[in-house]
Amino acid sequence: MEGYGLTEVSGGASVTFPEDPVSGHVGGPLRCVKWRIKDIPEMNYFSTDKPYPRGEICMQGNTITAGYYKRPEKTAEAMEQGWFLTGDVCQVYPNGSVKIIDRSKNIFKLSQGEYIAPEKIENIFALSPYVAQSMLYGDSLKNCCVAIIVPEMVKVKRWAEANGKSYSYNSV
């Protein structure tokens, strides 16, 4: 079974049926939330696309957050006329099941106005055999971003030994 959800939606928002023979989608909306898709012209996604409508998933319902605690500006960014904007782009199949295909909010702007696409940078980090996982974080009030890197410990140890460096799991 596959599913889809967000913290702001109190967890689950969709799930596949156990009997569904097709994989690669997250099922259809659960009864606790209403879904709609929003056109994203700048990314060429439209609810009128054929054969499958595409756009940003927007949600409404009793399980959706009323907003972010003491963050009215973040709440305003995340809500549009009572709909929560997930930032996830989907395509809708004729049976109502949904496949997540992209992110609409995959860039952020630093304080000096520079736009950063974290996914692209994370993909570059992933090319290194020494990186197991990475995450790039940025804050619009700061002028730089931060990368959190999880090293591929076995390969880092081999490199250290091959290059005469002392190594222990506790020192990394």
The sign of the dihedral angle between the CA atoms of 46, 47, 48, 50 is positive
Q: Are 79 and 85 in contact (CB under 8 A)?
A: yes
Q: Are 131 and 149 in contact (CB under 8 A)?
A: yes
Helices and strands: H and E segment counts in the chain: 3, 12
Distance CA 91, CA 161 (A): 49
Domains in the chain, start-ordered, CATH in brackets?
3-103 (2.30.38.10), 108-163 (no CATH)
Q: Which two tokens stand for residue 155?
A: 């390969």
Q: Does the model's pTM come out above 0.75? A: no
Distance CA 55, CA 104 (A): 9
Whose tokens are 């140890």? That residue is: 157
Exposed/middle/buried for residue 138 (C-beta within 10 Å: 0-12, 13-18, 19+): buried
Strands 131-138 and 108-109: unpaired
Sequence letter at residue 67:
G
Strands 145-151 and 131-138: antiparallel
Q: pLDDT 10s per residue in the chain (172 long)?
A: 889 999 999 889 999 988 888 888 999 999 999 999 999 987 889 999 999 999 999 999 999 999 999 999 999 999 999 999 999 999 999 989 999 988 887 777 788 888 787 888 898 999 999 999 999 998 888 999 999 999 999 999 999 999 999 877 665 4
